[in-house]
Amino acid sequence: MLPSAQSWRALRADLPASLVVFLVALPLCVGIAVASGVPAELGLVTGVVGGLVVGFMPGSSMQVSGPAAGLTVLVAEAVDRYGLAGLGTIVLVAGLLQVALGLLRLGRWFRAISVAVVQGMLAGIGLLLIAGQLHVLAGGTAPHSGLGKFTALPGLAGDLVTSDTARLSLAVGVATLMVMVLWDALPGRLRTVPGALVAVAVAAVVTAALRLPVHTIQVEGLLAAVQPSLGDWGTLADLDVLATIGTFTLVASAESLFSAAAVDRLHQGPRTDFDKELVAQGVGNTVCGLLGALPMTAVIVRSSANVRAGARTKASRVLHGVWLLLFAAAAPGLLGLIPLPALAAVLVHAGVKLLPLRAVPELWRGHRGEVVVLAVTAVSILTTDMFVGVLVGLGLAIVKTAWETSHVRVTVRDGRAGPIDVAISGNATFLRLPTILTTLNGMPADRTVRLDLRGLRHVDLACRSALDSWIETHNGNAGVSVQIVAPRPAEEDRPRTVDAAE
Q: Are 209 and 67 in contact (CB under 8 A)?
A: no
- Measure the CA–CA gap between 373 and 366, rounded to whole angstroms: 14
- Measure the CA–CA gap between 7 and 314, rounded to whole angstroms: 12
pLDDT by residue (tens digit) across 252-280?
888 888 778 777 777 777 888 888 999 99
Q: What is the pLDDT of residue 295?
A: 92
Q: Which residue in 255, 253, 260 sits closest to 279, CA to CA?
A: 253
Q: What is the amino acid identity at position 235?
A: T
Could you please report the per-residue DSSP string of 252-312? Answer: HHHHHHHHHHHHHTT-SSPPP-HHHHHHHHHHHHHHHHHHT----EEEHHHHHHHHHTT--
Helices 5-35 and 340-354: angle between axes, nearest 10 degrees:
110
φ, ψ (nearest 5 deg) of residue 277: -65, -40
Q: Which residue in 412, 367, 40 sits closest to 224, CA to CA?
A: 40
pLDDT by residue (tens digit) across 202-238?
888 998 888 888 888 777 777 777 888 887 888 888 8
pLDDT, the chain, mean: 82
The model carries a pTM of: 0.72
Q: Are 262 and 26 in contact (CB under 8 A)?
A: no
Percent of the chain with pLDDT strictly greater than 90: 13
Residue 113 DSSP class: S
In angstroms, the first-to-last Cα distance of the chain is 80
- Measure the CA–CA gap between 324 and 431, rounded to whole angstroms: 55
Q: Are 44 and 30 in contact (CB under 8 A)?
A: yes
**Does the domain at residues 408-497 carry the CATH identifier 3.30.750.24?**
yes
Q: What is the pLDDT of residue 10?
A: 66
CB atoms within 10 A of CB 459: 17
Q: What is the pLDDT of residue 501?
A: 37
- Measure the CA–CA gap between 145 and 148, rounded to whole angstroms: 5
Q: What is the pLDDT of residue 189?
A: 67
CA distances 323 to 11, 26, 53, Å, are 15, 10, 14
- Measure the CA–CA gap between 147 and 328, rounded to whole angstroms: 35
Q: Say if residue 193's pLDDT is above 50.
A: yes
Q: What is the amino acid identity at position 10?
A: A
- Measure the CA–CA gap between 90 and 285, rounded to whole angstroms: 10
- Residue 487: pLDDT band by 50, 70, 90 thresholds? low
Q: Are 296 and 37 in contact (CB under 8 A)?
A: no
Q: Say if residue 354's pLDDT is above 50.
A: yes
Q: Are 361 and 106 in contact (CB under 8 A)?
A: no
Span 7-34, mean pLDDT?
79
Ranges in the chain annotated CATH 3.30.750.24: 408-497
- Measure the CA–CA gap between 55 and 61, rounded to whole angstroms: 8
